[in-house]
Amino acid sequence: MRIEYADRIHRLPDQFFATLVKKVGALVKEGHDIINLGQGNPDGATPQHIVDKLREAALNPKYHGYSPFTGYSFLKKAVSDFYRREYGVDIDAETEVAILFGGKAGLVEISQCLLNPGDIALVPDPGYPDYWSGIVMAKAQMYSMPLLIENSFLPDYQQIPVEVLEKSKIMFLNYPNNPTGAIASKEFFEDTIRFAKENEIPVVHDFAYAAIGFDGHKPISFMQTPGAKEVGIEIYTMSKTYNMAGWRVAFAVGNPDIIRVINLIQDHYYVSIFGAVQEAAAEALNASQDAVKQLVARYEGRRNTLYKALHEIGWKAEPTAGSFFAWLPVPEGYYSNSFADLLLEKAHVVAAPGLGFGGYGDKYVRVGLLADEKRLLEAVERIDKLQLF
């Protein structure tokens, strides 16, 4: 029997990094010591108090049946309390919070909520590739907003053509940014809200790296800007702030009409997250944030160590302001793929080619701060032996 796939399967964008993973796997099988700085998977354990809460909650028979479709009220209240405490923002727990199966699920399904075939989605370039997946599944189109170093890796709304704006039905933003590590200013978010209102374009702010800002700067929430809830939502994952990547729990906050349609589509996809995971997530949000502060300090120490070593070998780049990535220009004569291949084959160091995040990333590679400082220094030593700088 011949199985025919739905057209949407053929439309899905290629998984750009699948080839890189295969190359790395082949070298590992050959016995090479690979320093993998190409991934975005946190390398630390979930704080113990969160794990303990999961263990305790898993024994509760209340959670052994189906969870409420829109999530438990105690987690939504924890989200509301968290936003009030951390950002000074009032979020209505029942109408302005949606519980998500990880941030990725929310970022993919939101396009299916707001886009029709032929509509345009404004996406950052470079940006997180999973934005593209939901857009393609909705049979919509993408318009890339270049993130350039001369604009501090912020989009320039004035450069978007009127005919594009007329068909645009959603805009994705992400600060602190993956992959550039840039952070947004209060003025930029104010400009974003004016732009969104003028053009009636809902905003989806991906706040995945919310906690990770350096040099004494705490990243600001889009929701802190007056008018934000009128024009959009913010998606916050537990993965990065609390080292809970494998737990698959996140939430969206903001515009109640958008929250309502997220809950609606999720009703058709699945029942909500295991209740014990929700209770552990509430514990993470409600309890002491000391572990988060320690995590950020660890990433900042790694960032400082890495950039100091890079500068010493002649690889000049401005240290990133947030996220747990370094965004590094490739040497003259290379593009991101060819340079990443060289690092892998000759130095056995994995860096993510910037092209995987969009065409405007093709002169950069992304390096994760997801190894200890000793390992980062070893990676720089290996690269130095290539005499590229």
Residues of the chain above pLDDT 90, percent: 86
First-to-final CA distance of the chain: 57
Give the Cα separation of 309 and 317 in Å (integer): 11
Give the Cα separation of 277 and 115 in Å (integer): 31
Strands 325-329 and 250-254, sheet pairing = unpaired
pLDDT digits (tens, 9 = 90+) for 129-148: 999 999 999 999 999 999 99
Return the pLDDT at 27.
83
Return the pLDDT at 26.
85
Q: Are 231 and 203 in contact (CB under 8 A)?
A: yes
pLDDT digits (tens, 9 = 90+) for 238-295: 999 999 999 999 999 999 999 999 999 999 888 889 999 999 999 999 999 999 999 9
pLDDT digits (tens, 9 = 90+) for 40-63: 888 889 999 999 999 999 999 999
- Average of per-residue pLDDT across 190-194: 97
Q: Alpha helix (H) ranges present in the chain?
A: 7-11, 18-29, 48-58, 73-87, 102-114, 130-137, 162-165, 186-199, 228-231, 238-241, 256-269, 275-286, 290-312, 336-342, 373-384
Give the Cα separation of 338 and 232 in Å (integer): 39
Return the pLDDT at 28.
83
Return the pLDDT at 24.
83
Q: Are 364 and 50 in contact (CB under 8 A)?
A: no
Query: Can you read off the two tokens belonging to residue 212?
Result: 């990770």
CATH numbers and ranges of domains, the chain:
7-45+291-384 (3.90.1150.10), 49-286 (3.40.640.10)
pTM for this entry: 0.95
Residues constituting the chain: 389
Return the pLDDT at 11.
82
The pLDDT mean for the chain works out to 94
pLDDT digits (tens, 9 = 90+) for 58-100: 999 999 999 999 999 999 999 999 999 999 999 999 999 999 9
Give the Cα separation of 52 and 57 in Å (integer): 9
346: alpha, beta or left? (left if phi > 0; alpha if psi -120 to 50): alpha
Return the pLDDT at 63.
95
